[in-house]
Amino acid sequence: MTPEDLYKNSFDGYRQDPPPGVWKGVNRRLATKDFFTPGLGHFNILYVAAVAAVAIAVLWPWSPNVQPPTGNSGDPITIADSSTGGSGAGQTSGAQPSYNENQERDFSVSSPKGNAPQHNDASPKSNSNSDTSYGDTSPDSGVTATSSEPEIQRTMQSAQPMPDFTSAFHASEHQGCAPLTVYLHNLSQNTEYSQWNLGNGETSYEQDLRVTYDKPGTYIIALRSVCGTYAKTSYDTIRVSAHRQAEIAVAISGMTITAEARNTGEASIVWDFGDFTQQSGRRRTHTYQQPGVYDIMLIVTDDVCSDTIIKSVTIKEPEYSLAFPNAIVASRSGATSGNYKTASPENKALFGPKGDIDDISEYSLTIYTRAGKQVFHSTNPTETWNGYYLNELLPRGVYVYKCKCKFVNGEESNVNGNITLLWE
């Protein structure tokens, strides 16, 4: 809005009527102008001149010594211009008075009391062919103004200086993953009110507020602060990225788990296994020391935002077990020795435990004849019996074994049974 528009708006709906006596002066001046304007449609000086010419033509031959008439002072008779109020320089009789139809005249209107601060400003000059201006009726101003005698002085509103105020705000976040919550704090000063445009189709007049952006995109926040007829607007930009749909895949084996992060792209990965142990990398293996329920936390971070996924796992106390064969086939060609753990499954000449051998912390195996004679004893779970005693093949038959062991978790196991010794 320009200062001119501001002045016009202040006169909206206002009309100033001229003082008494104006129209008499206007009509007098119009009549004078019409008289001195030649034409056939009205009485004017042309008719007077014609009558005078006829009279002179008739009377002049009879009065050759006629002198021009004079006034009381002997000066030529003059016709006064009504525009001068009857004073000033005149025209001699018989000649048209000096009259400037395009004379520029100022006209003005006084603004009503109680409006905005005012200043004096000359209105545009009238370029009409008439001495009378019938007013400025611009649609922008809505003001009717009339020139008259005496002239009305126009007083225009002065431009009010811009007040000292500011528009500013602070956003707690500028980028992040959806849904992103942003706290907005209005820092504007010396304002009457402020309006928020949050960039998502919502507006607010609150001083401070919180807004949550659920969808990815770029949002421009605008704060329009108003003081009087002036306004200032400040802006800030919020960028919301798509939420990563990261996943955790877990495989459990006893007290050990293998965790793998999926759908993470090139993001940084940090694991927290819930027992104060942290590791980094896409795939990690971890062994717990105690059974229980643990929350595995996966933290995925890229240049824009971070994402945290939590998955609960239950670690149960392992159920260890041992098993023994019920028969072996001894070789009559000589003693066969070997580690039962690494022996071929087809080797049926060895007797020893099968199962969680690596989890055994204490171990004892003893083999007896049916008469109670001890023929084998070992404290190593990987050591086996081959059917021999003191390098001699024992007779075929049934023997008795007894095994006592303790696992790493403190669990104890006692296994007793019979073993049949055969020859090949």
- Delineate the domains of the chain, giving CATH numbers in brackets: 1-161 (no CATH), 169-241 (2.60.40.10), 247-315 (2.60.40.10), 322-423 (2.60.40)
Lowest-confidence segment of 127-131, 154-158, 324-328, 395-399 by average pLDDT: 127-131
H/E run at residue 337: none
Provide CB contacts within 8 A for 358, sequence distance 6+.
none
More confident residue, 161 or 394: 394
Tell me: the pLDDT tens digits for 33-74? 777 777 766 677 777 787 888 888 877 766 555 454 444 444
In sequence order, the β-bridge partners of residue 218 are 239
- Count other C-beta atoms under 10 Å from residue 137's C-beta: 10
pLDDT at 77 over 50: no
| pLDDT one-digit tens code per residue, 163-219 | 999 999 999 999 888 889 999 999 999 999 999 999 999 999 999 999 999 999 999
With cut-offs at 50, 70 and 90, classify the pLDDT of residue 277.
very high
Q: Which CA distances in Å does 246 have to 83, 269, 271, 296, 323?
A: 94, 10, 13, 14, 43
**135 pLDDT higher than 70:** no
Q: How confident is the model at residue 312 (pLDDT cuts 50, 70, 90)?
A: very high
Closest CA to 111 of 90, 148, 79, 142: 142
Has residue 296 got a pLDDT over 90? yes
Q: Which residue has the higher pLDDT, 393 or 123?
A: 393
- Lowest mean pLDDT across 199-203, 336-340, 342-346, 391-395: 342-346
For residue 192, give the 3-state DSSP assignment: coil
Per the model's pLDDT, the better-predicted residue between 11 and 369 turns out to be: 369
Question: In 3D, which of 390, 399, 403 has the Cα closest to residue 421?
Answer: 399
Average pLDDT of the residues of the chain: 75
Under a CB-based contact definition with an 8 Å cutoff, are residues 16 and 145 in contact?
A: yes
